[in-house]
Chain A
Amino acid sequence: MVKHIIPETLSEALKYLYQGDFQIIAGGTDLMVQNRSWSETPVNFTKNMLYCFDLLELKGINVIDGRVEIGAMTTLETIMNHPGVPSLLCQAIGEMASPAIRHVATLAGNIGNASPAGDSLPVLILYDAWVELRNMAGFRMILLKDLIVGPRKTAMHPEEMIVKIVIPIHNFDFESYIKVGGRKADAIAKVSFAGAVEIEDDKIADIRLTFGAVGKTVIRNETAEGAWIGMTITELKTGIWRLIDMYNQLIQPIDDQRSNKYYRKTVAINLMKDFIDRL
């Protein structure tokens, strides 16, 4: 028999995580589908469940010293409507799911689920987001790109939980997020792309390009990005074939029920090309 625990405080939740093997559930919009059973029967969770959605300590958003800190149990709708949250993330959330799901789903859930097609991930990784993990003994900060190590795999220890997502605020001159899916709302992405550029004295001071649903994890390559720092937009535009060559090698999508690798790769490269054309 699996256990079902509804802790009242964060420290109580951490104690349970320390004592046994638990699956943390937040809003449940992914886990309820993944463990779906027959209609009218309880959901078929196979692990001990720790229901953390109502932990008040993990709800809320703070803007402090150039960063936004989002409590793990804050719903997507609350995040999307907060004036301090970067606009690209608000846009990704808006395209991620319908209002009914946004009222329940959380960013921490999207991260913990670690789907290659997780819609918030390309944007969070573009912003160099950090995740605060906590256990009974203390906490550690880990870059989101290091936390997600493969499809549905994270570097979290069993006794740890996500308590906060920390996004450094960065004012880019150009930014864009595009998701390609079968339906405007509630679709899982076939491909997604996020790009951002900062210009200083007519030169590229920062450029970031991320791709979702076209690899085991979000594709971002800081070496490929770094090669353009100090160059002008014109140089970037004339040298775009070099960028296309690089990402053609980096992007290795798969075939699945939603799309195929040829389509995914073509569209991913075209989205990047379109972003640079529009700079």
Chain B
Amino acid sequence: MAIIKFTLNHKQVIVNGDPNRRLLDVIRNDFNLKGLKEGCGEGECGACAVLINHQIVNSCLYVLANAEGKDIITIEGFAETKRFAVIKSAFETAGAVQCGFCTPGMIIATESLLNANPHPSEAEIKIGLSGNLCRCTGYNMIVEAVQIAMKAGEGLW
């Protein structure tokens, strides 16, 4: 047992329990935040993505013990920002959402990319999204959505 403290969506939280739990399960079950999904459970699909210290991370591969002191933002926390509003609108415009299972992860990936590189090339966008699988769209619409967000949100990143 261990006591792990971190910031979740800008609130200081404490988890008392097994430090070998997956961050994915802690966020979904202890905090009832179900935006992140378990897809593959082994770091290949990106459906469980969260931002840790503002970088995309797979929460299925992240052990609770390593969360101590980190700043963690899920899609629910990110949804309250101006940046999210721009990305959401861009995904709608480009038709980048179909079944929606990958969408929270795709949006987290978009934020992580634009935060580090506000003007990515198409190749850089593809690298930025390379850890996120989508079985519906064929990816072109998602790449286009990131390009739309980048232009529409000029100055936000």
Contact = CB atoms under 8 A, between A and B. Distances in A.
Interface in A45-61: 45, 49, 51, 53-54
Contacts of B62: 28, 32, 104
B56 A51 contact: no
B82 interface: no
Given A40-B25, A99-B131, A51 B41 contact: no
A219 interface: no
A36 B41 contact: yes
User: From DSSP, what is the main secondary structure of chain A's interface residues?
Assistant: loop
Interface in B38-57: 38, 41-44, 46, 49, 52, 55-57
16 contacts: A4-B19, A6-B19, A6-B65, A25-B65, A28-B63, A32-B22, A42-B21, A43-B22, A51-B65, A100-B43, A100-B56, A101-B131, A103-B56, A103-B57, A104-B58, A186-B43
Interface string B17-30: 01111100100010
Contacts of A29: 43, 58, 61
A98 interface: yes
A49 B131 contact: no
Contact of A36 (B42, B66, B128): B42
Nearest to A103: B55
Contact of A186 (B63, B68, B69, B130): B130
Contact of B128 (A54, A97, A99): A99
A27 B66 contact: yes
A101 B57 CA distance: 6
B112 interface: yes
A94 B109 CA distance: 16
Nearest to B70: A54
Interface of B: 2, 18-22, 25, 29, 38, 41-44, 46, 49, 52, 55-58, 60-63, 65-66, 68-69, 109, 112-113, 127-128, 130-132
Interface string A151-169: 0000000000000000000
Contacts of B19: 4, 6, 49, 51
A99 B111 CA distance: 12
A137 interface: no
Contacts of B65: 4, 6, 25, 49, 51
Residue with the highest number of chain A CB atoms closer than 10 Å, among B63, B127, B128: B63
Contact of B131 (A33, A54, A185): A185
Interface residues of A, number: 31
A33 B46 contact: no
Interface string A164-195: 00000000000000000000111000000000
B63 A100 contact: no
| A-B residue pairs, 4 tightest by C-beta | A98-B131, A185-B130, A51-B65, A103-B55
A101 B58 contact: yes
B43 A39 contact: no
B69 A51 contact: no
